[in-house]
Structure 1
Amino acid sequence: MALSIRRFQSGTGERFATLVDEEGMPLFYPTLYTTAVLRGASLSINTIINALGAIKMLCAWESYYGISVESRFKRSELLLAHEIHSLRDFMQKPMADTRQREGKVVPIKGKLKRVSKANQYNRLTVAAGYMDFIAGRLHPVTASSANDIAAMVAQIKASRPKMASKIENDRSTVHLEDALLNLVEDVIKPGSAANPVREYGLQMRNALMFTLLRHTGMRRGELLNLKIEDFDFAMGTVKIVRRADSADDPRNYQPLAKTRERTFPLIPELMDKIRLYIEKWRNKVPGARKHGYLFVTHRPGKSLGWPLSGSGFGKFMETLAGIADGASKLHAHALRHHWNYVFSKRCEEQGLTPEAEENTRSYLMGWSETSGTAATYNKRHIKEAAAQAVIGLQNKHFGRAANELHK
């Protein structure tokens, strides 16, 4: 049975997603679980879609091995240990490798493509929660049924891969250099002969997006979610606002602000450029005045004037990646890491205490002060400071040894 995740939007702007069969009919229990548990917990649409992806994998596992967990639960039969082990192994597979070949079950062995441990962990976590939900509704109530279901769920969770609590963050070693960013900024500057985009209004939009990402560290979803009303031109600020289920957003995949709302100061020169883009270029694009989103599609087509989509932003980043050697590392999150690195150096120059630096960073990035996320984004600077300290100690030691040698 070919399943797919279908997204749709209500008249009020609320986004929904459900798992449907090949005829487009929603599956009953996944839909019930989505409504009662996931939406009931006020989870974002993207989180719900990720959970449905895990349930889709669970359904693929059932089809692959000829198992129906719903029928089993109705007969008071829960999953056995070897079945949980097969589910664990199956959840390592990419979705494309989950179909039977020629109607036969193919053993999972040999060197296979695997998803990441984090992906497998998340899939099994969702599967455990989902089966806890449906078993609690389908399994006949007995004196021991609740304990039996809890034991099955605990087994599924126990089968998740071990995730080291202190793994080196590889992203901290892959960083951007100011020279590269300056080069990219020069190439995409409006009016530059080397600019890969011809239309001047589009050049203005692209340059502004890059500048805001580089100098504020905001996420791509936050950037695409910006509205003109978020800018206070008198105060010189921009406010990051959460707008889940916005009714005036026509995009199928609505960009979302994942972090807390906050206000970011901008220098007058940047505010002037934003005002100029709005008045001289954005507002003249057909359809752009129907909504308040700042960055819009400039290219002719049915989406002309619509808020820029995630795929449109992706094409913009692909253009940047081809500008110079080393620019392939250039993506929105890399710019966010780079902003945090520059921020760390600036705080050190200003003599801020570690506590003040962490609190300030947490506010500007939209994190809770107790989340610990600030330390992750400060890792590159910490590693560089540690390296400088070690080199300093070595230089001091060898300098003393050299002096003693020449006495």
Structure 2
Amino acid sequence: MPFLVPVDTGVPLAAPTFWIVAHRRALGRQPSTLYNELRSLMWLYLWAAARGVDIQQRLREGAFFALTEIIDIVNFCGRFTADALQEIDERSSKLSRLARRRKDSGRSVQSAEQRNRLAAISSFIEFTSADFLSVLAPWPQRWDHYNAVRTQCLDRLRGYTGGLAKPRRDDLGLPEGLEAAALKRLREVIEPDHPDNPFQPEVRFRNYFIIRLLLELGLRRGELLGVKLSDCNLGSTGSLTVHRRPDDPDDPRRDKPSAKTAARVLALNGRMTELAHEWVVHYRAKIPGARRHLFLVVNSRTGGPMSKSNLNKIFEALRHRVPGLPAELSPHILRHSWNDAFSETMDRKGIPGAQEVKWRARLMGWRSEFTARNYLRRTVRRRSNEVLKEMQDGLNIAPLEGVS
């Protein structure tokens, strides 16, 4: 569970802790999401440190923030951390720094990051001030005044946030699945006996099994690392269940992986069931320390549950040691590749679009079918270009006389 902790005290701040536990975590947010939201909220407290403002006092007394301060907060949230910390350091120093003060870099973070910071700040102010507002219920006039100032502050803050440049809507340079040649190369080189396999012999089958799971099931990194032996049905009708286990007490990893998507049961074909059985019985069972826990994928040296960084190193080795694989190869890129393959299968089978959307959402664990757009860039481009070419081929335009 993440907390916002000032360096000078080492004690978590009470108001952000209450906000993240009672409000954000109660909505089912994953630890990684809570961490990112606290990182965003941190900018309100960085601004307060740079300006000498007591956030809790402002909210408790109903003073909130003046228009100039709101504009300053918006601008401050667009800065890089080094620039913000430099300003705080200069303000807190008792020595004159005028002679050696560095100029602000003038750099700004991307508008999406700035919007995330301001969204967390707005949520925190709204939630925390609601608690103070509820206390004023016995005094209607004080309640009305506090609520009016609160509403005005939140409206202004959200107004400036909404005015920031929105992320681009084109798909140039955004993640896509692997090209056919790269995907073929990956499937070949991960075979344990392939001459270009970049891994040590003792981890080749494990890494082969990991990448096959990512390719065949479209799992997220956190979902894969969170699978337990009890989630695997390796009988005649094999299956693997993805569970949401936030803050799992049985997980000894400091940075616990988590499933962002909904729990679901995914079918395994005969070959994938055989691979899972072989990994569990003939490989995992022989690794010292692996019997101390139930997680499916383990560290080959310690036997403990595999960490995110350990999994990342597998893909780092593939990117750096295997010619023909793209620099952006990652577990998430393989999730995009799964979606490309799913679309091609639906096209071959002639499955109606509405049915395809529902099936995809269930297999991916998405609560909203709208999420699919982030994984369909290659498919949308392929299908739209096919239609465009068909339209062009159907245009029988006779050449003009005299024009060769």
TM-score calculated relative to the size of structure 1: 0.86
SS in 2 for 1:100: helix
- 1:358–1:108 distance in 2 versus 1, CA, 3 Å: farther
- 1:109–1:126 distance in 2 versus 1, CA, 3 Å: farther
SS in 2 for 1:255: coil
Query: Does residue 88 of structure 1 match 2:36?
Result: no
Q: Which amino acid aligns with 1:259?
A: T
- Which residue pairs with 1:19 in the alignment? 4
Query: Does residue 330 of structure 1 match 2:316?
Result: no
Q: Which amino acid aligns with 2:48?
A: E
Whether contact under 8 Å (1:20, 1:26) holds in the other structure is yes
- 1:104 Cα deviation from its structure 2 partner: 4.6
- 1:391–1:400 distance in 2 versus 1, CA, 3 Å: same
Partners of 1:384 and 1:362 in 2: CA distance: 21
SS in 2 for 1:263: strand
In structure 2, which of residues 363, 369, 376 is the aligned counterpart of residue 378 of structure 1? 376
- 1:41 Cα deviation from its structure 2 partner: 3.2
Whether contact under 8 Å (1:173, 1:380) holds in the other structure is no
- Which residue pairs with 1:349 in the alignment? 348
- Which residue pairs with 1:55 in the alignment? 41
- Which residue pairs with 2:114 in the alignment? 120
Whether contact under 8 Å (2:220, 2:259) holds in the other structure is yes
SS in 1 for 2:4: strand
Query: Does residue 255 of structure 1 match 2:257?
Result: yes
Any residues of structure 2 matched to 1:2-401 within 5 Å, and which?
16-22=1-7, 23-101=9-87, 103-104=90-91, 112-137=106-131, 141=136, 142=142, 143-160=144-161, 161-162=163-164, 164=166, 167-170=169-172, 174-200=176-202, 202-234=203-235, 235-299=237-301, 304-322=302-320, 323-368=322-367, 370-397=368-395, 401=398
Whether contact under 8 Å (1:176, 1:329) holds in the other structure is no
Whether contact under 8 Å (1:358, 1:375) holds in the other structure is no
- 1:75–1:248 distance in 2 versus 1, CA, 3 Å: closer
| Identical residues among aligned pairs (%) | 28
- 1:99–1:390 distance in 2 versus 1, CA, 3 Å: same
Structure 1 stretch displaced more, 102-111 or 264-273: 102-111
For structure 1, list consecutive stretches of 5 or more residues without a partner in the other structure.
1-15
Whether contact under 8 Å (1:136, 1:149) holds in the other structure is no
SS in 2 for 1:17: coil
Whether contact under 8 Å (1:129, 1:153) holds in the other structure is no
- 1:171 Cα deviation from its structure 2 partner: 5.9
SS in 2 for 1:243: coil
Q: Which amino acid aligns with 2:200?
A: R
- Which residue pairs with 1:5 in the alignment? none
Whether contact under 8 Å (2:182, 2:326) holds in the other structure is yes
Number of equivalent positions: 385
Partners of 2:401 and 2:243 in 1: CA distance: 63
- 1:138 Cα deviation from its structure 2 partner: 5.5
- 1:382 Cα deviation from its structure 2 partner: 2.2
Q: Which amino acid aligns with 1:357?
A: E
SS in 2 for 1:335: helix
Whether contact under 8 Å (2:83, 2:105) holds in the other structure is no
Whether contact under 8 Å (2:234, 2:276) holds in the other structure is no
Whether contact under 8 Å (1:70, 1:134) holds in the other structure is no
- 1:74 Cα deviation from its structure 2 partner: 4.4
SS in 1 for 2:266: strand
Q: Which amino acid aligns with 1:43?
A: R
- 1:194 Cα deviation from its structure 2 partner: 2.2
Whether contact under 8 Å (1:73, 1:135) holds in the other structure is yes
- 1:244–1:71 distance in 2 versus 1, CA, 3 Å: closer
- 1:96 Cα deviation from its structure 2 partner: 2.9
- 1:326–1:230 distance in 2 versus 1, CA, 3 Å: same
**What is the CA deviation profile of residues 296-343 of structure 1, one whole-angstrom value per residue up to 9, with x for unaligned ones?**
0013xxxx1111111111111211212224421211221111111111
Partners of 2:91 and 2:174 in 1: CA distance: 45
- 1:108–1:237 distance in 2 versus 1, CA, 3 Å: farther
Q: Which amino acid aligns with 1:249?
A: D
TM-score calculated relative to the size of structure 2: 0.86
Partners of 2:29 and 2:260 in 1: CA distance: 11
For structure 2, list consecutive stretches of 5 or more residues without a partner in the other structure.
93-97, 137-141
SS in 1 for 2:181: helix
- 1:162 Cα deviation from its structure 2 partner: 4.1
- 1:21–1:110 distance in 2 versus 1, CA, 3 Å: closer
Partners of 1:158 and 1:367 in 2: CA distance: 30
- 1:375 Cα deviation from its structure 2 partner: 3.9
Whether contact under 8 Å (1:18, 1:26) holds in the other structure is yes
- 1:277–1:110 distance in 2 versus 1, CA, 3 Å: same
Q: Which amino acid aligns with 2:20?
A: T
**What is the CA deviation profile of residues 209-251 of structure 1, one whole-angstrom value per residue up to 9, with x for unaligned ones?**
1111112111111111111222211212212122222221111
Partners of 2:166 and 2:50 in 1: CA distance: 31
Whether contact under 8 Å (2:239, 2:266) holds in the other structure is yes
